[in-house]
Structure 1
Amino acid sequence: MADSLPESGPSNPDNYEIVRKIGHGRYSDVFEGVNVQTALRCAIKSLKTTRDHHVRREIKVLEALRGGVNIITLLDIVTGDQDRPTSLVFELVDYVDFRSLFPRFNAADVRFYTRELLKALEFAHDRGIMHRDVRPHNVLFDPVKRRLLLIDWGSADFYEPRTEYTVRVGRGWKAPELLLHHGEYDYGVDMWQVGAMLAGCVFRREPFFHGVSNADQLDRIARVLGTSGLRNYVERHDMEMADVDDIAVHAGRPWTEFVDDENRHLAEEEAIDLMDKLLRWDHKVGFTLELEDGVVGCLLTMMSLGSVEREAGIGPSLLPRRRFIVGTSLLTNEFYESGVLVLFLT
């Protein structure tokens, strides 16, 4: 596997041969290929889009993420006329489709893959990058090598405070701020999507929130989190109330109501606790990922609101900060130290 792009610069298409098609998306097709000079097997992402600035942004993101833990490696850039990128070449990974894999997950698998996904996002967030489209289709699972890779950084962008963003991502994993067309979002969109994936794995319902439109998606989330929290969120951030006027009034449901005989072995108290902290209406009340040297895993910092405070509309600035250490398992050891709640994923 190459650690950097070829010193000679972008490659000619003749350097690669196509073996077979292995995937497709709105803006690209993906093929298994081989480098005819090195015989290296690779994945070739053939770009459909003519939006040069989007392609160049994706390349810039991938170059910034080079060497990142659990992040797909960009090996080469193939150019065409006027040196426009036509294909991106990546390492080839033998993976199992998530839809066939997740029904076989046990609790240890859920813990492991959640931790590995958070590691990838910690690396990206530490470099100012939001993925914005974290969902099963964009995560490769290799159960044989016990490996996870976060792929498809085409929707990613560099975070700038007080910037209006737009992005089109899979509805089933869209964070509330995206459903409400709130442009000034941040890394919280990624953390919501991790929570949605975790809920799908634990309760064996993928996607967990499955609406047929943005309005229906909001309604399905409100059935679980409650409508009053949604209205408080919209008012707090001065969003358009028209987006929620048609949402029915729901009291919300505790996560334990989704536990049944089929998923009970996955619905560990600690997993549900983490899920609850990730799936919050307010993108300002959730996890951020920061690297802490000397700690195995990631440092997750959150502003924790209890149910009473959430319903009262108390903002995070009025509440104490809690820190969560992600190690190797879902919140199995838990203790307080100087008012800081520390939880290890061991």
Structure 2
Amino acid sequence: MILTILGQCKLSTKPHQNHFENIFYYDDEYYQNHLHVSKVYWNANFNKRLKDVDPRYLYYKDGDIKRYTKYDKIGQGAFSQVFLGLRDDNEMVVMKELKPMKWQAINREIQVLKAIKGTTNTLQLIDAIRNQNKKQNATFIYQYLSSVNLLHLFGKLELPKIKLYIIYNTQKALNQVHSKGVMHRDVKMANIIIKEDDTLYLIDWGLGEFYHPKKRYNTRVGTRYYKAPELLVNNKQYDYSVDMWAFGCTLASMIFQKQPLFKGKDVYDQLDKIVAVLGTEDLLKYLDKYDLIYPDPPIHSQKPFTIYIDPENAHLVTKEGLDLISKLLVYDHKLRLTAEEAMAHSFFDGYRI
């Protein structure tokens, strides 16, 4: 790919192993100021090798499935089933059996898991065994943790634990994976697990994807109730901010004790539920700013997040919490707080670790 908009930016030639041996690329100032480029970590994947970010070039030595014995089923999703397992050295593991899918998707998940290896608050991949039988296309082996997901703890946590163990540590996990150039794209309560010692882990990277500036991505990703507005209006040039919207929904659900916060029957109704709170005026400004078309947008006036406060949740609501929610749940993804900015918010004062 050769980028050649002369007169608008400086161009230089450097080795760039993502695509070709040498390409022209825009300078940093161009990326930092571009409307359709992430405001953080936009260059995280610039110097990575093709085998690390492109599923077509992955080299991975598969493990031996004979080393593992499958036991009880402990979970199921749209694309996989999860079982407890035992390795031949008597080490307990988690075995994630993928349903039939394109080999590129399997390779991409392996690449994403390799990219985030070593980050805290994320489960580590132990082994991967790819195959072509009719029942499954691959089995991923993860470390075993005795844990429950956040959905099971919903309504049982007081504000200090919400701040310290749940919300702040989720931000740490997101900031670390974003710094590795990875978008999760399916952040939700069911994908946040808590160990008995209160350690938090962000799991399920099946929809994880590498971020590349100005790349057009599939918007049919994520769980409907947590989908960011840019996905609902088919803005394909999205970035890490989709995770921050989903995190904002998670935070608001924990504070207001309302799960999910926005409950649409389909993607159109989902946007309507969001607009019913954020209002039509700001949606139209967003669509105009990014030159997006959305026929017949729903018409609603803007409402404050205080509409969610009731006697059952009032003890969890603070001025700082409302402010953080209002800076995460905004239409414009360029104005949404990043994970690092959210971690620095006054809501977490006294709870940072």
Alignment of 1:225 with 2:242, yes or no, is no
Structure 1 match to 2:81: 29
CA shift digits 1:130-186 (9 cap, x unpaired): 1111011211122x2111110111101110111100042100000000011110001
Structure 2 match to 1:70: 121
Structure 2 match to 1:214: 267
Aligned equivalents of 2:90, 2:347: Cα separation in 1: 41
Structure 2 vs 1, CA of residues 157 and 97 (structure 1 numbering), >3 Å: closer, same or farther? closer
Q: Gapped runs of 5+ residues in structure 2?
A: 1-59
Give the one of 266, 270, 293 matched to 2:316. 266
Q: Secondary structure at the match of 1:46?
A: strand
Structure 2 match to 1:192: 245
RMSD: 2.0
Q: Gapped runs of 5+ residues in structure 1?
A: 1-7, 290-298, 302-323, 334-343
Structure 2 match to 1:156: 208
Aligned equivalents of 1:109, 1:66: Cα separation in 2: 27
Structure 2 match to 1:283: 333
Quote how far apart the aligned CAs of 1:246 are.
Answer: 4.4
1:214-253 equivalences in 2 (<5 Å): 214-242=267-295, 245-247=296-298, 249-253=299-303
Quote how far apart the aligned CAs of 1:97 are.
Answer: 3.8
Structure 2 vs 1, CA of residues 345 and 255 (structure 1 numbering), >3 Å: closer, same or farther? farther
Structure 2 residue identity aligned to 1:134? V
Structure 2 match to 1:135: 188
Quote how far apart the aligned CAs of 1:345 are.
Answer: 4.9
> Are 1:77 and 1:85, in contact at CA under 8 Å, matched by a contact in 2?
no
Alignment of 1:98 with 2:150, yes or no, is yes
Aligned-residue identity in percent: 34
Aligned equivalents of 1:280, 1:226: Cα separation in 2: 10
TM-score with structure 2 setting the length: 0.78
Aligned equivalents of 1:172, 1:50: Cα separation in 2: 24
Quote how far apart the aligned CAs of 1:64 are.
Answer: 0.8
| Number of residue pairs aligned between Structure 1 and Structure 2 | 290
Structure 2 residue identity aligned to 1:267? V
Structure 1 match to 2:96: 45
Quote how far apart the aligned CAs of 1:331 are.
Answer: 4.0
Aligned equivalents of 1:99, 1:156: Cα separation in 2: 21
Quote how far apart the aligned CAs of 1:33 are.
Answer: 0.5
More displaced 10-residue stretch of structure 1: 72-81 or 148-157 = 72-81
Structure 2 match to 1:178: 231
Structure 2 match to 1:330: 347
Q: Secondary structure at the match of 1:193?
A: helix
CA shift digits 1:271-327 (9 cap, x unpaired): 1111110100111111224xxxxxxxxx318xxxxxxxxxxxxxxxxxxxxxx625x
Structure 2 match to 1:310: none
Aligned equivalents of 1:104, 1:253: Cα separation in 2: 28
Structure 2 vs 1, CA of residues 267 and 257 (structure 1 numbering), >3 Å: closer, same or farther? same
Q: Secondary structure at the match of 1:287?
A: coil
Structure 2 vs 1, CA of residues 237 and 186 (structure 1 numbering), >3 Å: closer, same or farther? same
Give the one of 112, 127, 130 matched to 1:61. 112
TM-score with structure 1 setting the length: 0.79
Aligned equivalents of 1:217, 1:85: Cα separation in 2: 32
CA shift digits 1:232-255 (9 cap, x unpaired): 11111111131xx141x2112111
Aligned equivalents of 1:109, 1:173: Cα separation in 2: 22
